[in-house]
Structure formats: structure tokens, C-alpha cells
Structure 1
Amino acid sequence: MFVDESKAGPYLLVASVVLPADLGAARGAVRALHLPKQSRIHMKTETDGRRRTILSAFERAGLRATIYRAVGYKTNIAAREACIDKLVRPLAFEPTARVTFECDESQDARDRQQLFRLVRELRCTERVQYEHRLAAAEPLLAVPDAIGWAYARGGDFRSRAMPLVTKIVDV
């Protein structure tokens, strides 16, 4: 599972699941979209034409995501914590799960504390693993970034993102 956030509008935590057998092909599909000398895809810095191309390519590659939408929280910190809780709890019942969050130095330590508490509480420390990685080091972090950006942007971009959204979970 690859996770990124969007803070534009209601807080969104976006999680894209890729099965282990599909990781190579999925990473290849994302890397094929990199421009020369581009270390990562980041929707905030792409042109509208590239954004459309990226979303269409992700759809063709079968890349999808779940959006955890937090409304009514006083801070993004509280919203993120609620979304992470909602995302992780079902994983306790899976045989194994690995969650990769995009690095953000302002929140990584807080995430690790929450995740440590959650996996202990849920008694799944051996089955649920988590990490924070830079988007330049993990191409699949571009998937939740793109879907979250497009959904938050609204209009035509949200319409283009909706085929990539498996569900929206209100938190």
C-alpha cells in the first residue's frame, strides 16, 4: 500500500494497493511517465496536459486508490491521525501488509508513534509493516499523489480521477 495526502480542501489520505506480484509492472508503468531528468512525478508541478496524460496512463495500468476523506477536524494533524487509524485497523486481519507513506519530516515521527501504538494494540506487529520513503525513491507514491491531487482539484480533474478511485471512506 502506498499512501500520500492532500490538504487542499478537506483533508484526504489516499492509499493505493499494489499486490506484490504486480509491483514490478506498476513501478515500470509509473517510471515510463517520467520525463528526462525527472526524479519523480508530482502533480503540483506538472502541466495540465501532463496531468491528464498521467491520470489516463494510471487508469490503463489498472492503478487504483481508496480515498480517506476527513471532514470536521480542527487540524490536519487530527484528521491525519483519524485517517491512519481507519486505514490501518482492517490491515490487522490480513496475513501480511506493508504500508509506505510519503516522507514528510514535519509528521513522520508522529506517524511512527501512532503506527507503533496501533499495531501493538491490534496485535499485528509481525504482519503489518510500515515505512516512510521519499517519492523520488519509490515511484508508486506518485499514484496516490496524482489521484489525491486530481480529486481535490475538482472539476474535470476529479472526473478523470474517479475511475481510479475504488471507494471513498468518510472519516
Structure 2
Amino acid sequence: MSAHAFVDESARNRQFLLCVTLVEPAHLRPTRRALTELLLRGARELHFKKEKEPRRRQLIDQMAKMSVSVRMYTGSCSPKTEEAVRQQCLRQMAEDLLAVGAHRLVLDTRNERDAHDHRTLWQTLGSRPSKTELTYEHLDSTLEPILWISDAVAWCFGAGGGWAQRVAGLIDAHIKL
């Protein structure tokens, strides 16, 4: 699979969620266009936490029609261990992306905390730079619409109940660490 991966996270109820949306190169442009068309007038991004409930349902229904697949990485955490659990999830995700031949990884920026991700990814990918074509970068979610899918799915999964059921069809794999 020659895919691009887009990552966002959520932490809820002592659980860390790292959500990865995979998109094949041929579907990048139509997926971005479809997501941008979902923006309300004057909005620069979709941020699921800020949306009202009826709009959340509408957004998830539209995202479910897109040519994407989603993987969820989860681990138990406390506020003190959240960063360590994120890095554990990120390490496993990077290994999995290498296994499927992914080429590009985009992570929603956390500004100064991006350094933790750089260190983990360098440790995971750095020993084989000539053997893998996986590149990565951190971007603000206003610059990459596909990050909005990961944000929405992570929010729904973390909310549980009907919201988790609503996104179950989008999630191809749930990896518990």
C-alpha cells in the first residue's frame, strides 16, 4: 500500500487514543476537496470538539463515505504518563506504517511538544533511512484537511456509546498497547 497517513490524538477517561487515517495517493485530492466543502462559512478547519451534536452526526456520515481507512492505537494513561503512552503508540504506528509501505506521515502539530515525536520517530525510522521512504512532518490542522478525519474519529471513539458505534465502520484496526 502506497499510502499517506494523518495522525491526531485524544485523551479521555484515562485512555490515550492515537488515530491514523490512511489515504491512497489517488484519493488525496478528492478527500481534501470533500472535507473542505464541509466547512461552514468563515471556518478554517473542522474541530470535532467544537461542533454541535447534529453537525457532528452529519460530518461523520460524510466522512464514512470517503475512500479512507482508519487505525486506532490506544493505551491506558494518567495525566503524568500521557506523553509516554503517546510515544509508545507512535512507535508502534510507525512500525506498522513501515510494514504496509506507507510513504508520508503527517501529524497534527503540538508545537513545542513535537520534539518528543521527532525523537521517537528518529529512533524508530532513523536506523534505516535508506531502506524506507517514509517521511514525516507536523502540520497545523488548518493546513491539512485530512487531519480532521483523525480528529473526528478519535473524538467519537473516546466518547463511547453511540458515537463509537457511529465510527466503528471507519476503523479497520484497533491496536491496544
TM-score normalized with structure 1 length: 0.93
- The 5 A counterparts of 1:12-161 are 12-71=17-76, 75-123=81-129, 126-161=132-167
Q: Which letter maps to 1:117? A: Q
User: Given that residues 9 and 18 in structure 2 are in contact (C-alpha distance below 8 angstroms), is that contact kept between their aligned partners in structure 1?
Assistant: yes
Q: Which letter maps to 1:159? A: Q
Is 2:2 the counterpart of 1:2? no
- Give the number of aligned pairs: 171
C-alpha displacement at 1:50, in angstroms?
A: 0.7
Cα pair distance change 1:125/1:103, threshold 3 Å: farther
CA distance in 1, matches of 2:155, 2:130: 31
Q: Which letter maps to 1:4? A: D
C-alpha displacement at 1:20, in angstroms?
A: 0.8
Cα pair distance change 1:110/1:72, threshold 3 Å: closer
C-alpha displacement at 1:142, in angstroms?
A: 0.2
Cα pair distance change 1:5/1:125, threshold 3 Å: farther
* 2:174 equivalent among 160, 168, 171: 168
Q: 5+ unaligned residues in a row in structure 2: which ranges?
A: none
CA distance in 1, matches of 2:46, 2:26: 23
Q: 5+ unaligned residues in a row in structure 1: which ranges?
A: none
The 10-residue stretch of structure 1 (88-97 or 146-155) with the greater mean CA deviation from structure 2:
88-97
Q: Which letter maps to 1:42? A: H
User: Given that residues 69 and 83 in structure 1 are in contact (C-alpha distance below 8 angstroms), is that contact kept between their aligned partners in structure 2?
Assistant: yes
CA distance in 2, matches of 1:86, 1:124: 20
Q: Which letter maps to 1:38? A: A
Q: Which letter maps to 1:135? A: S
Q: Which letter maps to 2:118? A: R
User: Given that residues 27 and 67 in structure 2 are in contact (C-alpha distance below 8 angstroms), is that contact kept between their aligned partners in structure 1?
Assistant: no
Question: RMSD between aligned alpha carbons?
Answer: 1.7
